[in-house]
């Protein structure tokens, strides 16, 4: 079964390299009934710059980017079965989680949230996911 590369113009393709260098990553890959979405950061799709230094605004951008890639792959948040979150500052968790809860609008998924250091300066949150399309 071949993998299918998924791309959305409404979300940036990142590889945390020079923004003028082509990324080695796909925004998402569909393999069978699963869609694997690369980690989405809080980048404006047009400029590839971090949208804000505020965790709430970054979370909104990250989740909006994630939704755009899911839609390009024929999915919605209802198809998401697993999400992974990396927060630069674990103290941002309460604000992140409030924005996440509002975004999900009651939709359920599994999720792991860890503290770490996203590769790009200024990025406070990154989220990837797996969606089931069967």
3-state per-residue secondary structure call for 4-18: EEECCCCCCCCCCCC
Alpha helices in the chain (DSSP H): 55-72, 93-104
Unique residue bearing structure tokens 């404006």? 44
The SS3 of residue 46 is: coil
Q: pLDDT of 108-134, one tens digit each?
A: 999 999 999 877 889 999 999 999 999
d(CA 124, CA 60): 12
Kindly report the CA angle at 126 between 90 and 40, in degrees rounded to 5? 170
pTM (2 decimals)? 0.94
Kindly report the CA angle at 13 between 80 and 30, in degrees rounded to 5? 40
Q: pLDDT of 75-95, one tens digit each?
A: 999 999 999 999 999 999 999
**What is the gyration radius of the CA atoms in the chain, in angstroms?**
14
CATH number of this structure's domain 4-132? 3.30.1330.40
Q: pLDDT of 16-66, one tens digit each?
A: 666 677 788 999 999 999 999 999 999 999 988 999 999 999 999 999 999
């Amino acid at each position: 079964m071949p993998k299918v590369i998924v791309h959305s113009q409404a979300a940036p393709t990142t590889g945390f390299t020079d923004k003028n260098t082509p990324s080695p990553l796909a925004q998402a890959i569909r393999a069978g009934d699963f869609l694997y979405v690369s980690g989405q950061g809080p980048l404006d799709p047009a400029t590839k710059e971090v949208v804000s230094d505020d965790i709430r605004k970054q979370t909104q951008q990250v989740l909006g980017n994630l939704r755009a890639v899911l839609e390009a792959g024929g999915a919605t948040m209802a198809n998401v079965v697993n999400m992974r979150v990396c927060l630069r500052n674990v103290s941002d968790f309460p604000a992140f989680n409030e924005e996440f809860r509002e975004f999900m609008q009651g939709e359920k998924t599994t999720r792991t949230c860890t503290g770490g250091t996203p590769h790009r300066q200024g990025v406070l949150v990154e989220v990837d996911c797996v969606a089931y399309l069967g």
